Chains A and B, each alone.
Chain A
Amino acid sequence: MLPDDPMGAHPTDSPRIQGSGESPSTVPAVNSNYAKGAFVGVAAGVIAGLFGVGGGIVVVPGLVLWIGISQRQASGTSIATIIASSAAALISFEIAGSVDWSAALIVFVGAAVGAVVGARLATVVPERILTATFAVVLVIAGIRMLV
């Protein structure tokens, strides 16, 4: 809830904490990051289960804007957490009989290649261009779902 500056999570800049000459106390920052992380995780998990998505849409901005890590680190960390939330949601959908495994397998063949390409792409193409393009695609998809 603190309106701390976006770089607040960086371990080297806690100048206000006057330690005893030992290492500056980064413990409070780390603990609050755990609490923030848990909050972001619950929100992301609900979105993942409700909409059948990964939840990165919540995790990435949560990590960047609230915890203050870089976009690139947020993308990598987010996708690691998606392993857990998507697994939990998938179990629920499988129990309800709402998974088409053969279609999923076929899509995954393409996605496996895409994942490797995308991780490289993120290090080459400016984030701004990727994000803006993606936003346009989402608007089109969103309107189609509503109509």
Chain B
Amino acid sequence: MLEIVGLVALGLIAGTIAAALGVGGGVIYVPALVVIFAFDQHIAQGTSLAVILPTAVVATTAHARLGNVQWRLAVPIALAGILGAFFGAWVAFELEPDLLQRLFGIFLLVTAGRMALRAYQFTDQSEPEPGPS
């Protein structure tokens, strides 16, 4: 029961961040499932993807209503993304869970650095006006 409440809370927090930044569901789900819920690294990643897919559908609907989706740009990215995803998953299963987990940790730190840089850059620029919607 406690685990169910914990998993719902995890989804609520990560889903909010994911939709707000267009980033972030998986980088929260995977470490949370591994560290808090003791999932195997591969199963944490597979489960993360199973949440991300329907979440992305819901979030895309919300963003599209607000006029925030450029579909002509999304199509080539999506098609290329499918090819890349099959390759990346193949590599993931070539790796031991322990090594994959450490690589994931490094990936998180790199991501954090990138986000911090982005936050810093926003302070340099004049705050952009909300885009045409």
Question: A interface vs B, CB < 8 Å?
Answer: 30, 33-34, 37-57, 59-61, 63, 67, 69-94, 96, 98-101, 103-104, 106-123, 125-128, 130-132, 134-139, 141-146
Chain B binding site: helix, strand, loop or mixed by DSSP? helix
**Chain B interface residues toward A at CB < 8 A:** 4, 7-35, 37, 39-40, 42-60, 62-64, 66-74, 76-93, 101-109, 111-116, 118-119, 122-123, 127-128, 130-131
Contact for B19 among A61, A117, A132, A143, CB less than 8 A: A117
Given A34-B76, A52-B46, A57-B27, the answer on whether A110 and B8 have CB atoms closer than 8 Å is: yes
A145 CA / B102 CA spacing, docked (Å): 6
> Is there contact, CB below 8 Å, between B63 and A119?
yes
- Would you call B81 and A138 a contact (CB within 8 A)? no
Which residue of the partner chain, among A78, A100, A135, contacts B46 with CB atoms under 8 Å?
Answer: A100
State whether A128 touches B122 (Cβ < 8 A).
yes
Residues in A neighbouring B116, C-beta threshold 8 A: 131-132, 135
